[in-house]
Structure 1
């Protein structure tokens, strides 16, 4: 058997018709495409912090962190705006769902990327989110949600759902929450996920009977107290982590965007 046909045979056995192709964007030294000037200006406008090692971005709702449906813009590719003389771009350390806004941490050097990656594995990151939910009567003042989650793929879409703890694909998940304010129709909730499962906060709040407003996928309301909900009302407010330069714990914050602020004002919820 020739080397080639042997390789092809192995690919067939593993259920693939051909070996996986590495995308150009997997190569840290090769820009997939030039970033248009308007997009460069847009991504620069998202910067909330920068030093020699890291950058913090306030990602808008509707922008994918990586990849994304149907190509198009994503923050990972837009990092080529900041390409180094060495040909490297800054690297995303974590992701946010496309429709979630808020703080994203980016490492500017390989040592910072490695340091922060290890810190994330040992769970040295703390994350704080704000969510606006409907059916506020279903949430106590505070608590910890611990429903195990399973990942499910339907077509090209990936979902999370609550499952039994003994399900073979069950992943433990933990979200601490505190209600910061409520009206008859809505509540403003601070959430701190202690694990990083897909759509974790969204599924946990939906399972409590108080889905995040605008979260069509998990039963979120499209209007609250007579006000239109224009997007998923979930914002990554704060990120705390050990700084790669050894200075100790460091915090980045992303201002609450105008669309969430406007909804809260319209329905009488005070932002912190």
Structure 2
């Protein structure tokens, strides 16, 4: 799959990435990515998930390739292809919007209405070495169409648990869309989210890729779900959200 040189991984790194496997067959590899790990190259000089895929290198020197990305602080389901034909098939399926991604997020208050759609266009901006997305009007030069669906699953005086479905795949889309309706995600300091939730620290973005439904190279669809991380679950319980 890859002509790049293998990355030297420690035994602990190999054990860790192998422990994240949710589904593996001859064609695909699905992992539960932890928060704080970049999907691919960034400014931080540390191994990315892309690097860690060398733990699955085959005898021919090839290894899986990521089909899509998650933000560094987003946890959850991420898909890799194990063969070149699978990569081609899944890449085309992704472009054709045949993937269904479901996320969970913690918000300081429930959206109003409790369920709905956000269709605000987004504009990518570079500020120093950082990339941001900004909600803009449709006539803004460079604006990209974006559509997100949301549904409140539980709410209390301390916050809300929402389910999110991005119909488009813009960078930071869900984060910016929820912030645009006055409901930034807990821990998302970049887009106005508080670093506390239900009286407890929320030191990182509380966004989790909970489920992925995707067409399989052998036919039909596969559904893979990832349990929420312990810190997400603890804040959810602290807010009385089940």
Identify whether the pair has TM-score above 0.5, normalized to the shorter chain.
Answer: yes
Q: Which ranges in structure 2 are unaligned for 5 or more consecutive residues?
A: none
**1:73 Cα deviation after fit:** 1.5
1:216 counterpart residue number: 189
- Is 2:102–2:211's contact at 8 Å kept on the other side of the alignment? yes
Listed one character per residue, the Cα deviations across residues 5-33 of structure 1 (whole Å, up to 9, x for unaligned) are: xxxxxxxxxxxxxxxxxxxxxx9123253
Q: What SS is found at the alignment partner of 2:17?
A: helix
2:237 counterpart residue number: 265
- Is 2:198–2:235's contact at 8 Å kept on the other side of the alignment? no
Which has the bigger relative contact order, CA under 8 A and spacing at least 6? 2
Q: What SS is found at the alignment partner of 2:37?
A: coil
1:12 counterpart residue number: none
Q: What SS is found at the alignment partner of 2:86?
A: helix
2:39 counterpart residue number: 65
Listed one character per residue, the Cα deviations across residues 31-57 of structure 1 (whole Å, up to 9, x for unaligned) are: 253111111111111111111111110
1:127 counterpart residue number: 101
Q: What SS is found at the alignment partner of 2:15?
A: helix
- Distance in 1 between the 2:192 and 2:79 partners? 29
**1:194 Cα deviation after fit:** 0.0
- Distance in 2 between the 1:266 and 1:188 partners? 12
1:89 counterpart residue number: 63
- Distance in 2 between the 1:109 and 1:250 partners? 17
TM-score (norm 2): 0.97
- Distance in 2 between the 1:30 and 1:203 partners? 35
- Is 1:230–1:259's contact at 8 Å kept on the other side of the alignment? no
Q: What SS is found at the alignment partner of 1:119?
A: helix
- Distance in 2 between the 1:105 and 1:113 partners? 10
Q: Which ranges in structure 1 are unaligned for 5 or more consecutive residues?
A: 1-26
* Higher Rg: 1
164, 169, 174: which one aligns with 1:201: 174
Q: RMSD over aligned Cα, in angstroms?
A: 1.2
- Distance in 2 between the 1:125 and 1:71 partners? 31
Moved more, 144-153 or 66-75: 66-75
**1:84 Cα deviation after fit:** 1.4
- Is 2:109–2:155's contact at 8 Å kept on the other side of the alignment? no
Listed one character per residue, the Cα deviations across residues 121-158 of structure 1 (whole Å, up to 9, x for unaligned) are: 1110010000001132x431100000000000011100
Q: What SS is found at the alignment partner of 2:139?
A: coil
Alignment of 1:168-207 (within 5 A): 168-207=141-180
- Is 1:150–1:160's contact at 8 Å kept on the other side of the alignment? yes
